[in-house]
Amino acid sequence: MSTARPPAGRAKAAPDKRRLILDAAVRVFARQGFHTCRVSDIADEAGVAYGLVYHYFGSKDEVLDTLFLERWNVMLELIREVDAEPLPVRDKLRAIASFIVDSYHHDPDLMKVIIVEVTRAANSFGDTHIGTIREAYDLIGGMIAKAQAEGVFKPEIEARFAAMAFYGAIEQLLTGWIFGLLPQGEEHFERAKWLVVETVCGGLETRPAGHAGAVSGPV
């Protein structure tokens, strides 16, 4: 049941096999998929004995759970921080899109695993973490609702729906990269962030005019 068993006072040289296993699992899950890979694949990839995986994790599932929660909580944290600041919606959404795209840029395998095996897995893992996943959607929905209350966004579109569409658009861009359907690279990543925010905000904003200074593209 325990999700992590940090060696606490460890700080010096130790190779931290737990981390090693987690990182290896990301690569293996990304390459073969959670259901198709064997626990021994993870152990091999980590250069570690089979049994050690079970020393640190209660089950194969727990390895994936850990990976997901580790990352998703970072995102939740960021969303909350952004939400707390007194920024225009557009900037808030922009920050979220940036975070997700940057996460992919930084570790494509991890994001692939999270999206494919958890976020979109309507059975097993998706169900298990639905509450945690939902938090993100709700937070975004809240931002949009607030913008509507302030008159920045049109009120006739349910905030929850808009939040899902926004998040879905981002995730699909990642999917496009994962499947090799969209061109990757720094430049395209920046462009994608801009596109998503521009599109969604453009469609939601009250005053369709006034793209002042934002029309020319990202960075």
Partner DNA sequence: AGATGTTGACTGACCAGTCAATCTACTCGG
Partner DNA sequence: CCGAGTAGATTGACTGGTCAGTCAACATCT
22 binding DNA? (CB under 7 A):
no
What's the min distance (Å) between Cβ of 30 and DNA? Answer: 16
The answer to whether 99 and 170 have CB atoms below 8 angstroms apart is no
14 versus 149: smaller Cβ distance to DNA: 14
| Burial of 135 per CB tally in 10 Å (0-12, 13-18, 19+) | middle
Please give the full DSSP string across 154-179, using - where no structure is assigned. -TTS-HHHHHHHHHHHHHHHHHHHHT
- Contacting DNA (CB under 7 A), which of 40, 73, 199, 206? 40
Of residues 136 through 165, those in contact with a second copy by CB under 8 A are 137, 154, 156-158, 160-162, 164-165
- Contacting a second copy (CB under 8 A), which of 82, 89, 173, 189? 173
- Name which of 205, 202, 200, 206 is nearest 215 in CA terms: 202
Which of the choices a second copy, DNA, none does residue 59 contact, using the CB cut-off of 5 to 8 A by kind?
DNA
50 binding a second copy? (CB under 8 A):
no
Terminus-to-terminus CA distance in the chain, angstroms? 45
186 binding a second copy? (CB under 8 A):
no
Spatial separation of the C-alpha atoms in residues 144 and 152, rounded to whole Å: 9
What's the min distance (Å) between Cβ of 127 and a second copy? Answer: 8
CA distances from 32 to 39, 75, 190 (A): 12, 25, 29
Of residues 103 through 122, those in contact with a second copy by CB under 8 A are 112, 115-116, 120-122
123 binding DNA? (CB under 7 A):
no
169 binding a second copy? (CB under 8 A):
yes
- Contacting DNA (CB under 7 A), which of 19, 38, 80, 211? 38
* Most distant pair of Cα atoms in the chain: their distance: 62
Which of the choices a second copy, DNA, none does residue 203 contact, using the CB cut-off of 5 to 8 A by kind?
a second copy
Q: Footprint of DNA on this chain (CB under 7 A)?
A: 5, 7, 12, 14-15, 17, 37-40, 48-52, 54-55, 59-61
